[in-house]
Structure 1
Amino acid sequence: MSNSAIDRPTMPGTLWPARGHYVGPAPEDVLRRNLGRLKDSGTLDDFTEPPAPEDTQEHVFEARWRVDDDVTVRARLTLAPVQDRDEVCEWLLVAEAERPWDDRWPSPATMFWPADDDVAWDHHHAVQGLRLRHVHPLPDDDKAVRRVLKAAAREAWSVNIVVHEAMTPDEQGRLPLARLLPPGLRHRVVEHRATPQQLRAVNWALRDLGVEVPRGGALILPPTPAPPGYDGWAHSARSVFLDGSEPTELIDVLRRFVALPKPLPEGAEDALNALREHWTLMTHEEELARERGLVAMYAEALEAMTRSRDMYREAAERAHEALAAYRDAPGPEAEALERGRSLTQTASPLRQLTRTFERLKGNAKGTRSS
């Protein structure tokens, strides 16, 4: 499978993907406790831990819940240790709903991980130092700003936004904007923050991408490659008020960006296929439907085998008829056949028949055509 973004299928609108690092001990226990608590409260319909392949160190969790009363969401989280980093695990989560995703629905991340800040599950999987629920002040050095934004733009699992502070915010304004976003966007956004005097340096760093941050506004960084329909101006918020009020313009821009058709992030295609093809957390109705599907599949296979058997039987009957015709017909071929039978009584009947067909192969075509 190619890793090129161009070769990957388009992300379906029903999908909610996320990826990150958990830093700390016993991540499986953290997940079990949170999943169990949500199941007891009725938030989750159910969860399970299906067996992972024996040749991997992965640990798999499945969970199912409903939104808007009747829309089922199925989600699969895969946990794997990060090599050479103690007490660090990578997690990859895909959730799929029965209809296109609504960002007002609960975040699938907090269906698995605790919503509070005490558990460090929100570390960026590709760029160290970044976290999903935090503000990241850009470095003072201009070249370092360029490196940070370039690294962020290469990664397509998260939505990276650059916010420019028109003036130095108060304590409320220094809090992450993620807390004010709809739940379905909250854990997909990485926020980079530029001070009032950094605007020129930030836009210099973004020159290669052909975009810039409005003064006192925000910009969604285009991933590499940018999805069709992305436009730096259209995907910028002209003003973001850092006073604790809902950033309505930014939310609208984020929604338009998330709705753009874009290729699945690297690794998401396999995760989505695993969710669809290896799902184990079924209701009784789903199990019954699956069994009916298997019965139908086996019936179709049996019918195909029966058709093949009938075709072979018909071919054998025609072969016997042809052989009988050769035996009844006068001529050197029939005489040779009889001589061969009398001289090789101990020979294999199958071998005799094979040799006869080889001798008479040319004449068989003539006999059928006549």
Structure 2
Amino acid sequence: MPTSPTVRPTTPPTVWLTRGRHGGSAAEDVLRRSLHRLKDNQDIDDFREVPAAGDDSSDRVFEARWRTPDRVIVRARLSLTPSTHAWTLVAEAEQPWNPAWPSPATKFWPQETHAGSDAGRVPGPDSGSGGGFGCDWDRDTATGLSLGGISPLPQDDKAVRRLLKSAARSGWNLHVVVHEAMTTDERGQVPLTRWLPPGLRHRVVEHRAAPQQLRVVNWALRDVGVEVPRGGAVVLPGSPAPSGYDARDFSVRAVFLDGTEPADLVAAVTRFAALPRPLPDGAEEALTALREEWQLFTVEEELARQRELVAMYREALEAMTKSRDLYREAAERAHEALAAYRETAGALPAARRPPEEPGTSPFQQLTRTLERLRDSAKALRPAALTQAADQSPGGVGPAREREDTAAGPARSEP
């Protein structure tokens, strides 16, 4: 019998999340130096590196808190896997998220250089080598491509199909496929994120298809149910697709890659980002960790937290005390009832309290009584018989018999 798929919770409107991978080494040092600099520049209020609970292979966790231009407090948690340098970032504000707010990625990672295109991109120096910050941190985990830059599709058709299938299955970031109607010059090599709101700039992967690749692109996307118009673009639905997604609403028929703002495409991406989307794989656990394992408290927050703990302990102690009193009262009543029963049992007459052996039936009692009477009769039987013989007329009793025996010889003499 088929079972219905599990319904995933929807991403709360106060939450911003993304996932990426650092392309270099010593990603932990990159984060530490960047967070120290951001705090010194007052870009963030404070940060904390949570001590690792396990061995060297366990995730490294960094927490940061800042205020938006609207003075809304944002708390964010970034977990980094040392072996793969994959990272997950979840941020939550005290109000619904505004795309105009700065990207939370800029509150953790350095922003010195950003090439804008993987075709001619040269990774920045790695921080582990001692010179500056490594900026090759913004790689999409599903495809390995740049978050915010331009990523031309591979020339091999099979590689294109594999890449677009991976992009279509991605639920963490937004993937946009743009078809170039003709080969572009430098003016057309401006990434889409330049015109997007700040909150979307590190969540979008822009795939560029060459003029001759339209057919293979649409063939690779036919299982997804979307199609790229010639010289246009489409926003892929991701997996799972958000409720209310219609490919026609998020496809643009013409995108002019001449350096001007592609207003229709920007509007389509912004509308897609505003849809209520299901939490992707692993996001629910990351959000729960942000809410329940948060450790970066202010003095006021820590004081309020301790007061809540004291109130909770007080309620628990009162409940235990009340339970103890009820138990004591019940025990006292049980003792009183037992004492009253004993007094009542001691005041009963002896006749009403015959000592009986456990398990003795009335028939057994009657049998024992008859046996006692029989024994008494046997004890009285010799005396009764003697008395009866002496008193009988002509009868010879034992005493007379003894006298006749004694006098017998004397009577036999002449």
Q: Same fold (TM over 0.5)?
A: yes
Equivalent position to 1:290, from 305, 317, 328: 305
Where does 1:132-147 land on structure 2 (aligned, <5 Å)? 132-147=147-162
Taking only aligned residues, the RMSD between alpha carbons, in angstroms, comes to 2.3
Task: Indicate yes or no: 2:333 matched with 1:318.
Answer: yes
The 1-side partners of 2:85 and 2:316 are apart by: 44
The 1-side partners of 2:284 and 2:275 are apart by: 18
Task: Indicate yes or no: 2:33 matched with 1:17.
Answer: no
- Assess if the C-alpha contact under 8 Å between 2:72 and 2:95 holds in 1: yes
- Assess if the C-alpha contact under 8 Å between 2:20 and 2:87 holds in 1: yes
- Assess if the C-alpha contact under 8 Å between 1:217 and 1:238 holds in 2: yes
What number of residue pairs does the alignment pair up? 326
Shift of 1:296: 1.4
Where does 1:1-370 land on structure 2 (aligned, <5 Å)? 6-55=6-55, 56-82=57-83, 88-115=84-111, 116-117=113-114, 118=124, 119-128=135-144, 130-330=145-345
Which ranges of structure 2 fall in alignment gaps of 5 or more residues? 115-123, 125-134, 351-414
Shift of 1:271: 1.4
Shift of 1:215: 2.4
The 1-side partners of 2:75 and 2:136 are apart by: 24
- Assess if the C-alpha contact under 8 Å between 2:227 and 2:234 holds in 1: yes
Counterpart secondary structure, 2:138: coil
Counterpart secondary structure, 1:136: strand
TM-score for both structures, normalised by structure 2: 0.74
Counterpart secondary structure, 1:81: coil
Q: How much identity, in percent, do the aligned residues show?
A: 64
Shift of 1:238: 2.9
Shift of 1:67: 0.5
Which ranges of structure 1 fall in alignment gaps of 5 or more residues? 83-87, 336-370
Q: Quick one: structure 1 residues 51 and 5, their matched pair in 2 at CA, closer, same or farther if it must change by over 3 Å?
A: farther
Counterpart secondary structure, 2:325: helix
Higher relative contact order (CA 8 A, sep 6+): 1
- Assess if the C-alpha contact under 8 Å between 1:78 and 1:92 holds in 2: yes
- Assess if the C-alpha contact under 8 Å between 1:107 and 1:186 holds in 2: yes
- Assess if the C-alpha contact under 8 Å between 2:148 and 2:203 holds in 1: no
Counterpart secondary structure, 1:193: strand
- Assess if the C-alpha contact under 8 Å between 2:240 and 2:278 holds in 1: no
Cα deviation per residue 1:238-281 (whole Å; 9 max; x = unaligned)?
Answer: 33222222332222212221222222121211211111112121
Counterpart secondary structure, 2:291: helix
Match of 1:342 in 2: none
Match of 2:117 in 1: none
Q: Which amino acid in the other structure matches residue 165 of structure 1?
A: E
Q: Which amino acid in the other structure matches residue 72 of structure 1?
A: I
Q: Which amino acid in the other structure matches residue 265 of structure 2?
A: L
Structure with max Cα Rg: 2
Which is further off, 221-230 or 52-61? 52-61
Cα deviation per residue 1:152-191 (whole Å; 9 max; x = unaligned)?
Answer: 1111111111111122211121232223322110110111
- Assess if the C-alpha contact under 8 Å between 1:14 and 1:96 holds in 2: yes
Counterpart secondary structure, 1:76: strand
Q: Which amino acid in the other structure matches residue 86 of structure 2?
A: E
Counterpart secondary structure, 1:207: coil
Q: Quick one: structure 1 residues 291 and 5, their matched pair in 2 at CA, closer, same or farther if it must change by over 3 Å?
A: farther
Shift of 1:146: 2.1
- Assess if the C-alpha contact under 8 Å between 2:171 and 2:240 holds in 1: no
Shift of 1:70: 1.6
Shift of 1:50: 1.8
The 2-side partners of 1:21 and 1:38 are apart by: 21
TM-score for both structures, normalised by structure 1: 0.82
- Assess if the C-alpha contact under 8 Å between 1:6 and 1:263 holds in 2: no
